[in-house]
Amino acid sequence: MPARTPPQQPPTWTHSAAEIATGMADLVKQAKDVQDSVAAVESPEWSNVIVPLSASNNDKYGLVNRLTFYQHVSTDKEVRDSSSKAEELYRDFDIESSMREDLFKVVSAVHEQSPEVDAESKRLLDKMNLDFTRNGLALPSETRTVLKDLQKKLSNLEVQYGKNLGEETGFILFTREELAGVPEDVLSGFSEKDGKLKMTFKYPDLFPVMKYAQNPDTRRRAFVGDQNKVAENGELLVQAIKLRAEIAQLLGYSTHAAYVLEERMAKSPEKVLSFLNDLREKLTGEGKTEITKLMTLKTDDLASLGYPPEDVFNVWDYRYYDRLLLEKEYEIDAQKISEYFPMQSTIEKMLGIFEILFNLDFVEVTGADRSVWHEECKQFAVWKNDSGKDEFVGWLYFDLHPREGKYGHAANFNLGPGYTDKEGKRVYPVTALVCNFSKPTATKPSLLKHDEVVTFFHELGHGIHDLVSVTKYARFHGTHVARDFVEAPSQMLEYWCWQPAQLKFLSSHYLEPERTIDDDLIDKIVKSKHVNGGLFNLRQLHFALFDMTLHTTTDGAVDVNEAWNTMRQEIALMGQGNETTYGYGSFGHLMGGYDSGYYGYLWSQVFATDIFYTEFMADPMNTTQGLRYRDTILKRGGSREESDNLKELLGREPNNVAFLTELGVPV
């Protein structure tokens, strides 16, 4: 095959700290100049308001995303700091832009004209006008002044809540005897104080204690301590709930949840509550069955360790007995499984799955042609061949290993959305996976645990969404969909990591590449998928219903403490002795953008399962179904209502039957 030349060169990654600062300042100035020019238009119409504003927005997103990306991946602290400051500069500009009354007037004038434009353009105009309205610009000036003051107070509360959480330094001192069962490699990382071991509330300390400590009182103290670690945040949340309710009323919404959900797929609090309560009703029976099984395990365990019997399964027992059940009944050995998933061959085979499903071709760029921000990065030119000729899709990057100063989790970053520019030419997307998988050693390649393979598939799902989306406007490109749908495509692709044939295909022992994973190991992996799935999802329902309880009142008057503790026992089905906990003080989602939105994790999972069961369960490698899914869901991005796309794909309204079936719950 002759060499293919991409029609768009990859970005360069050579910005210095000074160039990042200058680049963002120039970009903001250019965007502001466009806004000033548009705001001064005397006879607003589509061509002199929306066309220049949308073109400016299209052009700026890619550069903004790249300049602010350095803070997550650069090895140079000065560059990272400059990138963070560039993001602050852009956010400030974005907030100012969203509150410009002069821009709202001209956009609103065009909106009232109802110009004859294509469906995606009409959606853009509707969204632009709604953005200004939701910011209060249609209100009288004196009301806007009050609104701005309330929003500033709310923002300060949210920042302080996050700051308190980030700076939390609490700990509990335990004797070695009290920590019996916790692996020595964990305990060796604990510092000592007053002759005891110091367990902080950071996850690498807390979770092993909750999973392995044999002493039930140790688990209780660890759990309660963690729940109550930032007591001052409770009052900040109470104040925030009241402010949110007041702001919603000023903007003309009945509740804060009604305000938030207007732009989500769910649309209304009533629909969310109906969804959550229906799941709760159907999962409660399964949860009670799981509790009974865990309680039997607990009774035997306490007797064998010499502890007095207990007649309640408490919330601090869950991680310990969930782990014990997996070990005893399913014999899951994560290390042994990882030997079959060396990184390089797993990547090649994973991409091979997407090549078949979505008719894509991933061509790795090597040698001097690479344009990367770090030598460990992988770069791919991505192509498709739907109509007998090669079509370029976009650029894909993998940055997979930890290093100092790098983003510490796993995420997909859009580094440049696709769109049609003002000359009518296609601008192609650029997307990156940033992960933290173990590095190879002198004797072993990087080996992926099964949950890391799932993570890889999930994040690449976001990347594929970015790559194959084709929209006119950057605003709707790829993962720019309703927030309660954005995870569904990635959650759906996780199912390939649980299918026996696909697990066999993905595997290759690092010492004997021709040897694939044993069938008995595959069987254990698949059977362990939903162990205690009822209880896991009831815990999610506790969080989601608590969130909705806080945000569906007209005045924000909720007894937060009562709601948190009572709802956990009633929904999650677990006791908490005579303990009162204040876990809402460290429930960062509620003050970090997921207010009235926590339901989204379950909401999107239900859609993901429905899609997989309906379209792919019978034949996970069916290219015809893959292309149909690609073009109906992924290609359209946010350019159409997500519910309309889903209904078109499924041939009916989506439902939770597949989700419940997956969990083994009767429907």
DSSP string across 352-368: HHHHHHHTEEEEEE-GG
pLDDT, residue 332, reads 81
Binned at pLDDT 50, 70 and 90, residue 262 comes out as: very high
Binned at pLDDT 50, 70 and 90, residue 194 comes out as: very high
Q: Residue 197: in which H helix or E strand, if any?
A: strand 196-200
Percent of the chain with pLDDT over 70: 100
Q: In the 3-class helix/strand/coil scheme, how is 61-128 assigned residue by residue?
A: HHHHHHHHHHHHHCCCHHHHHHHHHHHHHHHHHHHHHHCCHHHHHHHHHHHHHCCCCCHHHHHHHHHH
pLDDT, residue 235, reads 96
pLDDT, residue 1, reads 44
What is the rounded average pLDDT of the residues 607-630?
97
What is the rounded average pLDDT of the residues 123-149?
95
Cα distances (angstroms) measured from residue 298 to each of 70, 314, 490 = 49, 10, 36
Q: What is the mean pLDDT of the chain?
A: 95
pLDDT, residue 438, reads 87
- DSSP state, residue 342: B
What is the rounded average pLDDT of the residues 66-90?
95
CB of 236 closer than 8 Å to CB of 590? no
Please report the DSSP string for 469-524 in residue order. ---SSGGGSTT-S-TTTTTHHHHHHGGGGG-HHHHHHH---SSSTTPPPPHHHHHH
What domains, with CATH codes, occur in the chain?
17-139 (1.20.1050.40), 169-227 (no CATH), 233-250+252-332+532-598 (1.10.1370.10), 337-527 (3.40.390.10)
**pLDDT digits over 89-106, tens only?**
998 999 899 999 999 999
Give every CB contact of residue 7 below 8 A, 6+ residues apart in sequence: 392, 426, 428
In this model, does residue 634 exceed pLDDT 70?
yes
Q: Comparing 260-264, 404-408, 489-493, 642-646, which segment has the lowest mean pLDDT? A: 404-408
In this model, does residue 255 exceed pLDDT 80?
yes
pLDDT, residue 189, reads 87
Instruction: Classify strands 430-434 and 391-399 as parallel, antiparallel or unpaired.
Output: parallel
In this model, does residue 294 exceed pLDDT 50?
yes
Give the CB-side neighbour count of residue 205, counting CA atoms within 13 A. 20
417-450 in b/e form (b: 16+ CB < 10 A) is bbbbeeeeeebbbbbbbbbbbbeeeeeebbbbeb
In this model, does residue 44 exceed pLDDT 90?
yes
d(CA 352, CA 454): 16
**pLDDT digits over 332-379, tens only?**
888 889 999 999 999 999 999 999 999 999 999 999 999 999 999 999
> Where in the sequence numbering do the catalytic residues fall?
459
Binned at pLDDT 50, 70 and 90, residue 75 comes out as: very high
pLDDT, residue 330, reads 87
- Which own/partner pairs from 17-20 qualify as long-range (CB within 8 Å, at least 24 positions apart)? 17/76, 17/78, 17/79, 17/81, 17/82, 18/82, 20/67, 20/70, 20/79, 20/82, 20/83, 20/86
What is the rounded average pLDDT of the residues 595-611?
96
As a whole number of angstroms, the longest Cα–Cα distance in the chain is: 84
pLDDT, residue 203, reads 82
pLDDT, residue 486, reads 94
